[in-house]
Amino acid sequence: MNIRIFVLMAVVGFGLQPGSAMAQEAAKPVEAYELKSNIAYYGNSKPDAYLNERCRLDVYYPTGVKNFPTVVWFHGGGLTNGEKSVPAGLKKKGIAVVAVNYRFSPRVKAPAYIEDAAAAVAWTFQNIEVLGGSRDRIFLSGASAGGYLAAMVGLDKSWLKTYEIDANQIAGLIPYSGHMITHHTVRAERGIPDTRAIVDKLAPLFHVRKDAPPMLLITGDRELEMLGRHEENAYMWRMMKVAGHKETQLMELDGYNHGQMSEPAHPLLIRFIEKRLGQSR
């Protein structure tokens, strides 16, 4: 369903409802969390100093809880800047957050940053159970460039296939204002201007498929967003429907621009996870 959200007061209270499946699964109340920082998700044997510097992640997770869900979170910054952090709106929600750094253009070129994103997701699949999480409850999300990375790794199955992981094992994709066409930084690397839309194998739209994980697309106000970001996501929503995908939603946050939309989007992500886990029980 394509939804425009006009009154955010109605959604900012979203969280784990006391009777929900997810709340029942987590120890109640969930108060104890730990943070493990700067884990090298490629391991420590790579000779590339820049890769060793950037390709690290933090894991924020509830302790004393079994089978908790996890959000792998990719920060924004146009694939040229930014720094990993755990969004405040996702803390103390009964979920783990894996906050990921990755390499930047122009220091590297496409698809290096997508490879990094896939490696971080693979690390999560390979390690989250040790911390008490579930491999069956891993969601991918991120803002702007991070949303693009989440969508690419979740829709183009080739990236995780390298690690013998089926992308359909991902519990859900929740990109915030992510490019659905080929990212503008990828286009800039090729000398293509921002206003010229390209859809090729480095575009999430190129990988529309019926059997993809459930997807929630969230954007800011179409009149306030960067370039045509809302319209790209609306087209993705439509083409997923045309392809026969039955679990794609699109939400537009009226009155919020590209830089403002993440905070009001976080409760929607929590509600999406809650709904997915409730349906899976």
Given this model, what pLDDT does residue 210 score?
Answer: 98
Q: What is the CATH number of domain 2-280?
A: 3.40.50.1820
Given this model, what pLDDT does residue 192 score?
Answer: 97
Given this model, what pLDDT does residue 1 score?
Answer: 56
pLDDT in tens, 115-160: 999 999 999 999 999 999 999 999 999 999 999 999 999 999 999 9
3-state secondary structure the chain: CEEEECCHHHCCCCCCCCCCHHHHHCCCCCCCEEEEEEEECCCCCCCCHHHHHHCEEEEEEECCCCCEEEEEEECCCCCCCCCCCCCHHHCCCCCEEEEECCCCCCCCCCCHHHHHHHHHHHHHHHHHHHHCEEEEEEEEEEECHHHHHHHHHHHCCHHHHCCCCCHHHCCEEEEECCCCCCCHHHHHHCCCCCCCCCCCCCCHHHHCCCCCCCEEEEEECCCCCCCCHHHHHHHHHHHHHHHCCCCEEEEEECCCCCCCCHHHHHHHHHHHHHHHHHHHC
Given this model, what pLDDT does residue 47 score?
Answer: 81
* Residue ranges covered by each domain of the chain: 2-280
Given this model, what pLDDT does residue 15 score?
Answer: 39
Q: What are the mean pLDDT values of the chain's consecutive 10-residue runs (281 residues total)?
A: 50 38 46 95 85 97 96 98 98 98 98 98 98 98 98 98 98 98 98 95 98 98 96 98 98 98 98 87 39
- Give the global pTM: 0.91
Query: Cβ neighbours of residue 244 under 8 Å, at least 6 residues apart?
Result: 210
Cα separation, 185 vs 192, in Å, equals 9
Tokens of 221: 């106000």
Given this model, what pLDDT does residue 29 score?
Answer: 52
